[in-house]
Amino acid sequence: MNSLTKCLLTRVNSPPNVPFQVTHPFVPSRSLPSPHAQTLFASFARGPKLAGVWRERWETDDNDFIDVDRIEGGPNAPVLVLLHGLEGSSRAGYIRETLHLAGLRGWSALALNFRSCSGEPNRQLASYCAGDYRDVKWCLSKLDQEGRTGPRFAVGFSLGGNVLLKLLADEPGLSLTAAAAVSVPYDLAACTARLDGRGLFSFLYRQWFLYPLKKKGLHKARQFPTALDAAAIRAARGIYAFDDAVTAKVFGFACAREYYARSSSGPLLRHIRVPTLLISAEDDPLAPASMLPLEARENPALTVVTTRQGGHVGFVEGSWRAPHYWAEQQVLHFLASIAARHVLPGVMPR
């Protein structure tokens, strides 16, 4: 592959006040050339073994709980808050990879499990959705109480990226130094239409998400029989139908359409003021880069990186035997460039 072709694989739109260049253009693994191969391999195959990780359970004010996995860096180290995607967890490969890279830099990190995603059902009716950032905001306030002095960063993947971007847009005074979001479903209605569409891969992705969602929904219907219709949950054959029967009702929306319209981060990107990196692939089968509103590139706080290939939270380089995960590397590179402006003793911003 010649240098011109490589350069075309990665496009970077970096505001002048936040100059950023990727370490190298993304070149997909030869053994994983298709978007589905990238997406599925990254989902099933990765996740480094991590040392020094421990779990904490934080009791919430509404008699529920949030489980977080943590690593501890130096006393003044940057703190990284990680948000997983739909039906993911802190054990997802992309979360573990980011924890690993943060640990190599001597940073502290906290991987939040959205309610019901840590391996144990939460107590209350509501768990999580693409537009509900209250638990993330609450977790950030918990970090405020710990008296940390280093820069604070947040990274969201897929649905977790949408949650993070909506939080950044709605809460401009948030105490975050910088953020990053990978493979974000900027338009929830369009992403759902892709999942609910025809074709083998749409069916596979849909079932991958729908099976655990319906299982959890039926559990909630048994817990709260007057709040949810178990028959409607069983009858749901797509993500839209499930969101109409469960998510919209639980979070106070009239229907799934209203939930998508009010929770999509795309229309809100112009309001973000925190330096934020956005990474998406043009061939993403669920949330292609084309869903990013054009006006987002005009926001001086946003650095937009798009690649021709990469799939959904894939971005796998190297070989399938020795893979490297490009997006996570770029996220840490971006945040380290911000951390370098806040260097304190005992911190490695590289």
Q: For residue 170, what are its two tokens?
A: 């709605």
52 CB-near residues (< 8 Å, 6+ apart): 71, 72, 103
49 CB-near residues (< 8 Å, 6+ apart): none
Q: Which of 98, 131, 135, 142 is nearest to 117 (CA)?
A: 135
> Using CA atoms, how far apart are residues 222 and 295, in angstroms rounded to an integer?
45
> Using CA atoms, how far apart are residues 74 and 92, in angstroms rounded to an integer?
25
Q: Cα dist. 168→101, 122, 131, 268 in Å?
A: 24, 26, 12, 9
In the residue annotation, 271 being an active-site residue is answered as no
Catalytic, out of 29, 132, 312, 337: 312
In the residue annotation, 158 being an active-site residue is answered as yes
Angle between helices 326-339 and 93-104 (to 10 degrees): 40
Count other C-beta atoms under 10 Å from residue 144's C-beta. Answer: 11
Q: What are phi and psi of 113, to 5 degrees?
A: -100, 120
The DSSP element (H or E) to which 65 belongs, if any, is: strand 65-71
In the residue annotation, 264 being an active-site residue is answered as no
Catalytic, out of 89, 118, 284, 337: 284
Residues composing the chain: 350
Q: Cα dist. 260→6, 39, 117, 200, 301 in Å?
A: 36, 24, 21, 25, 25
Distance of alpha carbon 143 from the chain centroid:
20
Q: Which of 95, 321, 75, 116 is nearest to 217 (CA)?
A: 116
The DSSP element (H or E) to which 82 belongs, if any, is: strand 79-83
Catalytic, out of 89, 158, 183, 337: 158
> Using CA atoms, how far apart are residues 324 and 317, in angstroms rounded to an integer?
5
- Catalytic positions are 158, 284, 312
